[in-house]
Amino acid sequence: QGFEVEVYADQQGAGSGLAFVSWFTFDKTTGGAERQRWYTMSGPMRSGEPVASLSIYENTGGNFNAPPVTSARNVGTATLSFDTCVTGVLSYAFTDGSARAGVIPLTRLTPSVTCSTTAARPTNADFALSGNWFDPATSGQGLTVEVNGGAGVLFAAWYTYAPSGATAGAAGQRWFTAQGPLATGSRNVAVTIYETTGGLFDAQTFPVPSTVAVGTGTLSFQSCSNAKLDFSFTGGSNSGSTGSISLVRVGPVPPGCV
């Protein structure tokens, strides 16, 4: 379980940006895919101030790669802070009646590519493809992607729903991760799709959660603003599902994208 973070610069004037966070986790009880949970968080973030006050949102009522569009419901607040380019802290408090609250230390999963705390940030054409992508026809689900040439890998977290999740409430949420080797300059990346189950919200479990390969796909970047995901599931809760999703970027194109 963990987080993917994107900061949109200068969204409300110079130096005033917006932080968007995808949070992939689990229910307070362990189980199968029906115990997966995901949230999104967003809030203002100012240049030179590595702290953001965020609202936590929950989306339910959707179907895998199909309508309806879902709406976000505010279920809590959080504070995200960074002390370096590779470490930070998230504190959270839910207001949904669950009384969940806590503090989570964060460590970057992949090497930093363009982050700098002491100088102007460099740009990188591959890394600039990183960010949040979705299909407007099924808004409320999508992918958070990192294209990391330093690690030679593309990593994506896919927040979505069960094929018939619209009437299942939170139990209808699903999330997958996808990962594949990245060659510098590549705009078509083959990935393996994974499903993780058996976890517990913000807690360790013994045995540890199980991550299993459940399919394959290709993520193709047609431009800095348009992409396509072709996928085929051979196992897991979406076994037998195949298709293609046309994606557009959420937010502005980052500097350095070509």
DSSP string, 89-146: EEEEEE-SSS--EEEEEEE-SS--SS--SSSPPP--TTGGG-EEEE-GGGTT-EEEEE
Spans of the chain, pLDDT less than 50: none
Average predicted confidence (pLDDT) for the chain: 95
Helix then strand count (H, E) for the chain reads 0, 15
Quote the pLDDT of residue 116. 84
Quote the pLDDT of residue 78. 98
Which residue is associated with the tokens 């927040």?
159
Q: What is the pLDDT of residues 189-228, one digit of tens each?
A: 999 999 999 999 999 999 999 999 999 999 999 999 999 9
Length of the chain: 258
Rounded CA-CA distance 159/144 in Å is 8
CB atoms within 10 A of CB 201: 17
CB 21 within 8 A of CB 8: no
Quote the pLDDT of residue 67. 97
Quote the pLDDT of residue 209. 97
Quote the pLDDT of residue 120. 79
Q: Cβ-count burial of 111 within 10 angstroms (0-12 exposed, 13-18 middle, 19+ buried)?
A: middle
Quote the pLDDT of residue 48. 80
Beta-sheet pairing, 16-26 with 101-107:
unpaired
Confirm whether pTM is higher than 0.85. yes
Torsion of CA 189, 185, 149, 48, to 10 degrees: -110
Quote the pLDDT of residue 149. 92
Rounded CA-CA distance 56/25 in Å is 13
